[in-house]
Structure 1
Amino acid sequence: MLVVENLFVNYNVIKALKDISCKVDQGEIVALIGANGAGKTTILNAISGIVPALSGTITFQGENITGTPAHLIVRQGISQVPEGRRVFANMTVLENLEMGAFIRSDSKAIKTEIDHVFQRFPRLGERRKQLAKTLSGGEQQMLAMGRALMSQPKLLLLDEPSMGLAPMLVEQIFSIIQEINASGTTIMLVEQNANMALSIAHRAYVLETGEVVLSGDAKQLAEDPEVRKAYLGE
């Protein structure tokens, strides 16, 4: 579904990504793990069209999308849940979800999609008229995910969904990620909590200073002594 080949991204003089290649097959959850500053978020932002590629190609469903503006990437079927949630603080829960449907015009279908989000995240349904800034961190994460799902993406990019959440909520969010995947959405997941990421992913890539240093089956990587020592705290 997604193929990234020989991708280089610079931030001024800093080489953020150096010759990155990775892929995501339809139906998979693929995790990107690594220390802070390894380049995980930059990969998602390059795929989303938020940061420009210096060189290399990004192909989605057979079409070269390198250099495509971010708002058109959403129309292609890729949606991103950004790190730090980035909900529209002074809009209600409902308005945030409606913003997520900006590429759609069928109001009846949009309403049905909002109902689906409320079924998946009942707490959002209870708070539909509340301003997003009044929600807890966990609720804001649910809202950011719900908003991204409003465009009915084929590929969902999730950036640090567990950041700052209590352990019980982390389990709930990861369970929902698995449900979203099981219902047909392919997922690329950036996650600091490598244990949780590898427990639900099919495959994973390990990044260090802008390069892929390991890749393979997620369960095998979770058992790799080097990975355990470096990323799983063992």
Structure 2
Amino acid sequence: MLEVKDLEVFYGSIQALHGISFKVNEGEIVTLIGANGAGKSTTLRTISGLVRPRRGKILFRGTDISRVPAHTIVRMGVAHVPEGRKIFPNLTVLENLQMGAYTRSNKQEIEESLERVFKSFPRLKERVKQLAGTLSGGEQQMLAMGRSLMSKPSLLLLDEPSMGLSPILVEEIFEIIKNINREGTTVLLVEQNAFMALQIAHRAYVLETGKLVLEGAAKEVRDNPKVRSAYLGELSFAS
């Protein structure tokens, strides 16, 4: 479904991604893990068209989207839930969700998507008329995810969905991600909580300072001594 080939991204003279290549197959949950500054968010922002690569290709269902505008990429079936949620605080929950469907015109299908979102996130239905800025952090994360689902994506890009949430809410969010995937949406997950990400993912890639240093089945990556040590702060892959 998604193939990233030799991707290089710069911010001015600083190189953020060093020729990374990976793929996401239809129906998978694939996770990118790594420390702060590893290039995880940059990777998602480049896939969704918010950042332009210097070199390399991004193929979505065989089409090169590396120079395609972000709004067109949404129409093609890729939705991005950004780090920090980026909801519209002065709009209601319902208005935020409706914003997520701006690329669609069939009212009946939009209503069906809305019901699907409320089924996945019942708390949003309870707060449908509430201003989004008054929601708790966990509810705002649910709203950001629900808003992205309103575009009916085949590929969902999730950037740090557990950030700032309590352990109980983290478990709830990850269970929702699994359910979204079971219902047919492919997921590319960026997450600092490596343990939780590797619990639900099918495959994983480890990013360190803009380079892919390890890949494999999620269980293999989880059991890798270097991964375990790196996330305890004992060593890096460059050691």
TM range (shorter): over 0.9
Partner amino acid for 2:131?
A: L
CA distance in 2, matches of 1:191, 1:233: 17
Q: Counterpart in 2 of 1:198? A: 198
Query: 2:17 is paired with a residue of what secondary structure?
Result: strand
Deviation by residue 1:70-129 (Cα, 9 ceiling, x = unmatched): 000001100000000000110000000000001100112111211111111111000000
TM, length-normalised to structure 2 = 0.96
Scaled by the length of structure 1, the TM-score of the pair is 0.98
User: Is the contact made by 1:194 and 1:232 (CA closer than 8 Å) also made in structure 2?
Assistant: no
RMSD between aligned residues = 0.9
Contact 1:48 1:78 in 2 (8 A): yes
Amino acid of the residue matched to residue 96 of structure 2?
N
**Contact 1:195-1:232 at 8 Å conserved across structures:** no
Shift of 1:208: 0.6
List gaps (5 residues or longer) in structure 2.
235-239
Alignment partner, residue 209 of structure 1: 209
What is the deviation of 1:231?
A: 1.8
Number of aligned residues: 234
Shift of 1:232: 5.3
Match of 1:93 in 2: 93
SS in 2 for 1:3: strand
Report Cα offsets for 1:140-189 as digits up to 9, x if no partner: 00000000000110000000000000000000000000000011100000
Distance in 1, Cα, partners of 2:119 & 2:59: 33
One-letter amino acid matched to 2:209? T
Spell out the pairing of 1:182-193 with structure 2 (5 A cutoff): 182-193=182-193
CA distance in 1, matches of 2:4, 2:71: 19
User: Does the 8 Å CA contact 1:110/1:150 hold for their aligned counterparts?
Assistant: yes
Q: Is the 1:87–1:143 contact (alpha carbons within 8 Å) kept by the matching residues of 2? A: yes
Q: Which residue of 1 aligns with 2:114?
A: 114
Any runs of at least 4 consecutive aligned residues in structure 1 with deviations exceeding 3 A, and if so which?
A: none
| Distance in 2, Cα, partners of 1:77 & 1:227 | 32
Q: Deviations over 1:191-228 (max 9, x none)?
A: 01000000100110000100001111110110011100
* 23-32 vs 105-114, which moves further: 105-114
* Aligned position for 1:179: 179
Q: Distance in 2 between matches of 1:109 and 1:75?
A: 15
Q: Is 1:220 equivalent to 2:223 in the alignment?
A: no
Work out the CA distance in 1 between the residues paired with 2:177 and 2:215.
21
Structure 1 unaligned segments of length 5 or more: list them: none
In the alignment, the residues of structure 2 paired with residue 73 and residue 232 of structure 1 have an alpha-carbon distance, to the nearest angstrom, of: 37
Provide the identity percentage.
Answer: 64
> Is the deviation greater in 32-41 or in 106-115?
106-115
Q: How far 1:233 sits from its partner (Å)?
A: 6.2
Q: How does 1:65-104 map to 2 (within 5 A)?
A: 65-104=65-104
Alpha-carbon separation, structure 1, partners of 2:51 and 2:62: 21
- Take 2:126 and 2:205, find their aligned partners in 1: how far apart are those partners? 38
Rounded Cα–Cα distance in structure 1 between residues aligned with 2:42 and 2:123? 31
Matches of 2:158 and 2:178 in 1, distance apart? 12
